């Protein structure tokens, strides 16, 4: 994808980890973790170490992020049913949830990314397992590619370039957010073997 620049468009870049998109909805019974496909289990059971760090958030808040581990294939272990407490503690040592957006039904409709980012930084703190993803305002195309090269050199999968005026669409890919990765991926459906 190429990023379109114009004087009216305000863009930021954020490092992209290689993991699973996981969102957390804060309910009266505690956080419920779910995937883009709305699968909640076994994530809600397995990610209680993250849930404990989110309990102070208001009911109705959704936190959006990427669950990453030292190796991409290791992230899949969080899908395992009935992990022991020892397994979870061991896996948590190299797991970080890179949070990048927040949504709250009580906040006015049409809240732009710029305001959501401010609210996210006020409500969620970096911990051993939670990282509020840093954002860099993009000046121009040359600046973007310099940041991209640095992200790749630092071991990130790439960048996500976001329009500061974009609205929140949970788990949906929109043109206001563009991935820049060192490789191209495609989704497909197995129709036979």
User: 43-85, pLDDT tens digit by residue?
Assistant: 999 999 999 999 889 999 999 999 999 888 889 899 999 999 9
Q: 158-178, pLDDT tens digit by residue? A: 999 999 998 887 666 677 888
DSSP label of 172: -
Count, residues in the chain: 193
Structure tokens at 98: 């890179």
Q: 22-41, pLDDT tens digit by residue? A: 999 999 999 999 998 888 88
Kindly state the average pLDDT of the residues 101-117.
85
**Pairing relation of β-strands 11-16 and 30-35?**
unpaired
**Residue 103 CB partners (closer than 8 Å, separation 6+):** 61, 62, 64, 111, 116, 168, 170
Helix, strand or coil, per DSSP, at residue 47: coil
Which of 129, 63, 49 lies closest to 96, judged by CA? Answer: 129
Structure tokens at 64: 């959006």
What does pTM read for this prediction?
0.85
- 163, 17 Cβ separation under 8 angstroms: no
Question: ω before 59 within 30° of 0 (cis)?
Answer: no
Rounded percentage of the chain residues whose pLDDT exceeds 70: 91
């Amino acid at each position: 994808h190429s990023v379109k620049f114009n004087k009216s468009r305000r863009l930021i870049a954020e490092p992209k980890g290689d993991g699973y998109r996981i969102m957390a909805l804060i309910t009266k019974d505690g956080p419920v973790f779910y995937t883009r496909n709305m699968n909640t289990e076994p994530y809600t059971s397995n990610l209680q170490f993250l849930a404990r760090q989110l309990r102070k958030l208001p009911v109705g808040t959704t936190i959006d992020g990427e669950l990453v581990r030292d190796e991409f294939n290791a992230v899949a272990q969080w899908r395992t049913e009935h992990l022991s407490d020892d397994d979870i503690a061991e896996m948590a040592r190299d797991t970080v949830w890179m949070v990048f957006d927040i949504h709250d039904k009580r906040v006015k409709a049409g809240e732009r990314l710029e305001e959501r980012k401010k609210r996210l930084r006020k409500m969620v703190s970096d911990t051993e397992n939670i990282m509020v993803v840093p954002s860099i305002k993009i000046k121009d195309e040359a600046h973007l590619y310099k940041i991209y090269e640095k992200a790749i050199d630092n071991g990130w999968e790439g960048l996500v370039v976001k329009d500061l005026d974009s609205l929140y669409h949970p788990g949906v890919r929109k043109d206001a957010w563009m991935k820049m990765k060192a490789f191209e991926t495609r989704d497909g459906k197995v129709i036979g073997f």
